[in-house]
């Protein structure tokens, strides 16, 4: 096995082309085996095996610096840069992350996991090289799906200004996570069909030189192209056409389903985890489809991740023109939602907490200054969400909830969520966002009659005294647990409150609490800094009320254990009860 | 005078072409007269007079909807849509804002003032129209300078997916605020030189149809082109070439200086305000130029607004390749800074508070997760900054300071600022941002010896008791005033603290304060929600310390009077002293 003897990129250079092809097979096999047992990004990595071999054959990493966009295609690169054991040996699978990471290897230059950043970041490396009069190639590798992102397009536009060595490898597998949307993809198609010879060429139009590689899974062709551009003295694009999922038939056939996969049976492709439970994603899509049928102005928007809110291929077809995929371009998604709402439509944008981060200015300027009555639903904004450092869902409250005019809601159950969604879609006064709870969906079948247009009116779900617990969203149940435990330990029957509104204080209620309460406890599923609890602490700053804020520390966690993190942040009923008891 | 009789766009349609030309002269004269007395955006508006007349001649606003990017070219539109008095009569100049605003007119569809948003917003209007099966044209008007912004490029890419009527008018005056940077401008040049006939066409490459207008100041040519695309059933770009500053010779000659202007003498063009004082902008450019000469790896970055940090044309030339203008693309500016820092360079990105908003995800993902030691200097992050609703500098603290790993500093004087800047440029541990104070620059000639790498160590500038005042950045002087007044009124000698670090608490000091203090007052120049003071309130939540947080209410102010706003938010020494006295 060649792969076993590859300890650094230099080892690739000693192999002959025929041996490289065998190496490619070995890598692909290792990839399929690992992901089948462990889960991970699948299709994009399978497509990039040959190109990664060719890159390391031609270039001299780390002197030559390769920046992989979004990291979804870095597994082959990891295999060739001293990290093969993490793919070959099951006991070592977890030794390496799924993302580019300089802490793992000198061949990685950034921790990155959001799309569309590679070109601009790599431009920085090239500029630093030029300022310091150093040598070496700088290469950004980016998938076609990531090209529609604003930062990528800005980067493409800026790159020619470097006027020195800079290589962009566009890995064109004719797919985003789902199918591509955007005019640029018509041009990529034209270029594929004309072997790169069409006069109208988006890369040339952006000021870049251009090389086309018809078969991006042909090592020899790739080596030829990369050799040609190596040490180029000006910015140039190498457009390579690869097959997403290459080498695993099912993945080649159904590219969307195999972009990322949970562990599966290698023979049948069947997932090892049967998952048919209702969750917030399926509930959302089904509910919206129902509303769409009743009202042609209801429209669901995604930015390249339709299944986040349950819109599988089948459901997208069912929605027809009432479903819009803007491609990976979150900024446009928010602006589009604002425009649709302004025009009298009823848009609902479904998005992960970590990706709504890409739209602060659009939320502020396009949406909230205009008070456009659009709806945003944020998923996985929770400690129970994704645990990779680049995909944390712990920051959306400080990011969003301090923007004026936005009404950011935190339901605690499916029923509350759907009631909020219905209200938000039909109202015409406010931009509204709804933050879905983390963890398992709770459904209590209770009818929700609340009028959500009465902004910032919290719900007292249990009236007690001495201690009031405000359990926001996910952590409402933690509030319930704490209440019980506190009564068990002290006999104190506390008040329990479901605040629901992240963006405003129920001042009337907070005033009332002063009468019979000494301690207010806030619980929120996100970092404390800039969050919900601090507003309560500020409110009571001049009074005798004691305020205990619970939430997470401001830090970038990575691949964390949820229970451990909760404990470290004193987010267990036992710990909170202990703290409260000290105050009584 | 024709202009006096134009009360609605329909009135334009009754004029003959020769009369329209006279109207254009009248509008231009009104524009020059108003801006010379009042100040405002000058060059972009002068260039768009004819195109605006032609738009209203051909299209039927408000049934046909026109969205003007960034609003810098909306003055002619305002003149033709019932708001001419605001240009003709000096006493009415202030009746209208400098920006597009639906509250002013049914012919405006959004409040907008940040660049690059028009296409995506207008896509929303078009989508709403189609969902509701309504009729009418939707037109986005965007300048060439705004095209480099990520949201605009995303919008261009997405527009073809509408597959219905959608018109983008690209107002190409061959300038951004300063000169353009980016590969796309090579293509615009090629298109201008070939009368739009070049095969390689960035708009066609993005999937849009295309029409070229050679003289975008020729009403007849414009009417012809707009008539041709009216009721188009697919998305199309009309590329018009205009002259920025058209009709005012000095503005045609020096386009950058006349993009926006303060009041000036119409005959000589000389500004009515002589302004030669040193300010944070000039201090920054001069300091950086000095550092650049000592160290070739120091590099200043702007995103299309070089004079924000003092880099006039002359100083940019002096800096040479150590000054980088990425064009209007803030996301790339932050990513580039991160890349340069990673590559061992020393980047300093100078940017307005309101525009750093466009980079939350880049700050978080590209910069802070990677702990890249780049420096960002934010200007006009203050109540004393810009007062238009789209350009407020009141939100950067909640937006930035809750991102992990960032060190956000708030100097109170020129000397502190330069010491922080020096430290930040040379250190290699942290991403650092520096928030310049608002109001008049204070220089006290004191030597600053502090070691800023001792993170979160506040400075006690006056040791007292009972009351501790934390005056952050701009409001340190308000702290000084309050201290004096409090002593006068009560004899209490308070403690005064210059926190300097927005992003972290000096817990040791806060603990110490408990010993001899009963009240802590925080003062910050921005909204309270998610800000600095709330963190102090949270810290003392479980203790007997009373905390009074002063700052601004979370709201979108518009064209406000600073003193009024300060008073409304109890941000005067008298009001704060009153409040504190109640606590003693």
Q: List pLDDT tens digits, range B71-82.
A: 999 999 999 999
Q: Does A186 touch chain B (CB under 8 A)?
A: yes
Q: List pLDDT tens digits, range B153-170.
A: 999 999 999 999 999 999
> Running DSSP on this structure, what letter comes out for residue A70?
T
Beta-carbon contacts of B320 under 8 Å, excluding residues fewer than 6 positions away, are none
CB contact under 8 A, B157 and A153: yes
Find the CB nearest A538 among B155, B336, B533: B533
pLDDT band per the 50, 70, 90 thresholds, residue A128: very high
Chain B residue with CA closest to A197: the answer is: B200
> Running DSSP on this structure, what letter comes out for residue A384?
T
User: Judged by CB atoms within 8 Å, which residues 360-389 of A form the interface with B?
Assistant: 360-362, 364-366, 368-370, 389
Partners of A344 on chain B (C-beta within 8 Å) are: 128, 132
Per-residue pLDDT of chain B (584 residues; tens, 9 = 90+): 999 999 999 999 999 999 999 999 999 999 999 999 999 999 999 999 999 999 999 999 999 999 999 999 999 999 999 999 999 999 999 999 999 999 999 999 999 999 999 999 999 999 999 999 999 999 999 999 999 999 999 999 999 999 999 999 999 999 988 899 999 999 999 999 999 999 999 999 999 999 999 999 999 999 999 999 999 999 999 999 999 999 999 999 999 999 999 999 999 999 998 777 899 999 999 999 999 999 999 999 999 999 999 999 999 999 999 999 999 999 999 999 999 999 999 999 999 999 999 999 999 999 999 999 999 999 999 999 999 999 999 999 999 999 999 999 999 999 999 999 999 999 999 999 999 999 999 999 999 999 999 999 999 999 999 999 999 999 999 999 999 999 999 999 999 999 999 999 999 999 999 999 999 999 999 999 999 999 999 999 999 999 999 999 999 999 999 999 999 999 999 999 999 999 99
pLDDT band per the 50, 70, 90 thresholds, residue A273: confident
Shortest distance between the Cα of B16 and any Cα of chain A, in A, equals 33
At residue A310, the pLDDT reads 97
* Helix H or strand E segment including B156: helix B150-158
Asked if residues B80 and B245 have their Cβ atoms less than 8 Å apart, the reply is no
pLDDT band per the 50, 70, 90 thresholds, residue A277: confident
Pick from A403, A304, A73: nearest CA to B154: A304
Test the A interface: residue of B192, B332, B376 with most A CBs within 10 Å: B332
At residue B569, the pLDDT reads 98
Shortest distance between the Cα of A551 and any Cα of chain B, in A, equals 12
Q: How many residues are listed for chain B in this entry?
A: 584
Q: List pLDDT tens digits, range A332-380.
A: 999 999 999 999 999 999 999 999 999 999 999 999 999 999 999 999 9
User: Judged by CB atoms within 8 Å, which residues 95-134 of B form the interface with A?
Assistant: 102, 109-114, 117, 120-133
Do the strands B209-213 and A40-41 form a parallel or antiparallel pair, or are they unpaired?
unpaired
Kindly report the number of other CB atoms within 10 A of residue B459's CB atom: 16
- At residue A177, does pLDDT exceed 90? no
Q: Collapsing DSSP states into helix, strand and coil, what is residue B269? A: coil
- Our CA angle for A112, A113, A116, nearest 5°, is 85
Hey, what are A366's tokens?
Answer: 């396009």
Asked if residues B373 and B432 have their Cβ atoms less than 8 Å apart, the reply is yes
User: Judged by CB atoms within 8 Å, which residues 210-269 of A form the interface with B?
Assistant: none
Partners of B322 on chain A (C-beta within 8 Å) are: 131
Shortest distance between the Cα of B26 and any Cα of chain A, in A, equals 32
At residue A135, the pLDDT reads 97
Q: ipTM of this predicted complex? A: 0.98
At residue A274, the pLDDT reads 75
At residue B273, the pLDDT reads 84
User: Judged by CB atoms within 8 Å, which residues 258-317 of B form the interface with A?
Assistant: 296-297, 299
At residue A11, the pLDDT reads 97
Beta-carbon contacts of B333 under 8 Å, excluding residues fewer than 6 positions away, are B301, B302, B303, B326, B349, B351, B359
User: Judged by CB atoms within 8 Å, which residues 531-570 of A form the interface with B?
Assistant: 531, 533-535, 537-538, 540-543, 546-549, 554-556
> Running DSSP on this structure, what letter comes out for residue B60?
-
Hey, what are A342's tokens?
Answer: 């302004």
Partners of A533 on chain B (C-beta within 8 Å) are: 538
At residue B186, the pLDDT reads 96
Each residue of A26-43: b (16+ CB within 10 Å) or e?
bbbebbbebbbebbbbbb
Beta-carbon contacts of A443 under 8 Å, excluding residues fewer than 6 positions away, are A278, A413, A414, A415
- At residue A113, does pLDDT exceed 80? yes
Shortest distance between the Cα of A254 and any Cα of chain B, in A, equals 23
CA atoms in the 13 A half-sphere facing the CB of A344: 9
Shortest distance between the Cα of A297 and any Cα of chain B, in A, equals 5
Partners of A389 on chain B (C-beta within 8 Å) are: 369
Hey, what are B121's tokens?
Answer: 């917003």
CB contact under 8 A, A161 and B324: yes
> Running DSSP on this structure, what letter comes out for residue A363?
I
Q: Does A29 touch chain B (CB under 8 A)?
A: no
CB contact under 8 A, B110 and A338: yes
At residue B275, the pLDDT reads 73
* Helix H or strand E segment including B83: none
At residue B62, the pLDDT reads 98
Rounded CA-CA distance A487/A577 in Å is: 9
Cβ contacts below 8 Å, chain A against chain B, sum to 425
């Amino acid at each position: 096995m060649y792969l076993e003897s590859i300890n650094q990129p230099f080892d690739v250079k000693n192999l002959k082309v025929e041996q490289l092809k065998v190496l490619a097979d070995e890598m692909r096999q290792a990839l399929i085996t690992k992901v089948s047992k462990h889960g991970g990004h699948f299709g994009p990595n399978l497509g990039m095996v040959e190109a990664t071999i060719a890159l390391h054959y031609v270039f001299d990493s780390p002197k030559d610096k390769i920046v992989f966009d979004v990291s979804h295609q870095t597994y082959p690169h990891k295999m060739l840069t001293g990290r093969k054991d993490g793919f070959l040996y099951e006991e070592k699978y977890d030794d390496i992350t799924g993302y580019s990471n300089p802490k793992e290897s000198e061949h990685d230059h950034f921790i990155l996991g959001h799309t569309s950043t590679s070109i601009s970041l790599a431009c920085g490396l090239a500029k630093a090289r030029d300022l310091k009069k150093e040598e070496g190639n700088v290469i950004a590798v980016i998938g076609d799906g990531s090209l529609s992102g604003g930062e990528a397009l800005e980067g493409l536009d800026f790159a020619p200004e470097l006027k020195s060595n800079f290589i962009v490898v566009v890995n064109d597998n004719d797919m985003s996570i789902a199918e591509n949307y955007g005019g640029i993809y018509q041009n990529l198609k034209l270029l594929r069909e004309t072997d790169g010879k069409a006069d109208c060429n988006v890369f040339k139009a952006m000021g870049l030189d251009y090389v086309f590689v018809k078969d991006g899974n042909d090592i020899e062709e790739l080596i030829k192209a990369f050799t040609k551009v190596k040490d180029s003295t000006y910015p140039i694009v190498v457009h390579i056409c690869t097959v997403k999922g290459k080498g695993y038939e099912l993945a080649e056939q159904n590219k969307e389903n195999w972009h990322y996969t949970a562990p599966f049976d290698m023979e049948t492709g069947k997932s090892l985890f049967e998952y048919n439970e209702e969750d917030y994603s399926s509930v959302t899509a089904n509910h919206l489809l129902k509303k769409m049928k009743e009202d042609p102005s209801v429209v669901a928007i995604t930015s390249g991740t339709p299944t986040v809110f349950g819109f599988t291929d089948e459901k997208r077809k069912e929605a027809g023109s009432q479903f819009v995929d803007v491609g990976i371009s979150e900024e446009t998604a928010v602006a589009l939602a604002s425009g649709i709402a302004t025009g009298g439509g009823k848009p609902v944008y479904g998005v992960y907490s970590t990706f709504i981060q890409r739209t602060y200015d659009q939320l502020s300027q396009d949406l909230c200054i205009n008070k456009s009555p659009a709806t945003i639903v944020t998923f996985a904004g929770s400690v129970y969400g994704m645990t990779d450092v680049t995909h944390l869902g712990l920051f959306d409250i400080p990011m969003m909830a301090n923007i004026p005019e936005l009404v950011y809601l935190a339901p605690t159950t499916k029923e509350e969520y759907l009631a909020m969604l219905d209200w938000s879609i039909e109202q015409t006064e406010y931009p509204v966002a709804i933050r879905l709870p983390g963890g398992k969906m709770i459904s209590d079948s209770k009818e929700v009659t609340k009028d959500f247009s009465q902004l910032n009116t919290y719900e007292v779900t249990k009236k007690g005294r001495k201690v009031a617990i405000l359990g926001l969203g996910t952590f409402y149940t933690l509030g319930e647990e704490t209440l019980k435990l506190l009564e068990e330990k002290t006999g104190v029957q506390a008040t329990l409150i479901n605040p629901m509104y992240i963006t405003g204080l129920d001042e009337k209620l907070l005033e009332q609490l002063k009468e019979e309460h000494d301690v207010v406890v806030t619980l929120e599923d996100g970092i404390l800094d800039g969050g919900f609890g601090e507003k309560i602490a500020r409110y009571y700053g001049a009074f005798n009320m004691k305020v205990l804020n619970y939430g997470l520390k401001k830090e970038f966690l990575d691949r964390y254990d949820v229970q451990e993190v909760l404990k470290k942040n004193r987010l267990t009923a036992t710990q909170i009860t202990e703290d409260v008891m000290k105050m009584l």
